[in-house]
Amino acid sequence: MKWKRKTASTPRQKAIKNADKWFSYYIRLKDSDQNGMVRCVTCGKPDHWKKMDCGHYIPRQNKKLRWNEFNCSCQCAKCNYFEGGRMDLHRRYILNRYGMEEINKIDLLDNDKKPYKISIFEVEQIALIYKEKAKKEAEKRNIILK
């Protein structure tokens, strides 16, 4: 049996997929060097930004933190996917880079159990914002994004 990737079928799913794409590009590009190389924030493995993941400290199922720049960093697939994100090391990285104030903000949003619904329009705006940011980062490195 061949595994098939689930495709976005509703306008909302398509908008979220697009926002995820551009947000991920931005997160991975912003910390890369002029050659497009970046290090995994949890294990230190160096690799090209295209081969890295956009790792979420608090998993992206929490919609309030899905597109939060302080919650996301470059991670290798091993750390992000196969080792569950290595939250303890990811938290330490966020603390060292951004400080306790950002950790507290992330924790507050994570513990806030109020329902959160984002409109398709808002998701489309997020995609546009991060598309522009990603393209600016790519331009600095002479990378062309599609």
Give per-residue pLDDT as tens, 42-84. Answer: 999 999 999 999 999 999 999 999 999 999 999 999 999 999 9
Classify residue 80: in a domain, yes or no: yes
Range of the domain at 92: 14-137
Indicate the SS3 state at residue 23. helix
Q: What is the pLDDT of residue 78?
A: 97
Q: How many separate domains does the chain show?
A: 1
Classify residue 24: in a domain, yes or no: yes
Q: What is the pLDDT of residue 6?
A: 65
Q: What is the pLDDT of residue 145?
A: 85
Tracing tokens 């049996």 back to the chain, one arrives at 1
Q: CB–CB of 116/64 below 8 Å?
A: yes
29, amino acid identity: L
Closest-CA residue to 22 (of 116, 126, 119, 93): 126
Classify residue 43: in a domain, yes or no: yes
pLDDT tens digits, 9-21? 899 999 999 999 9
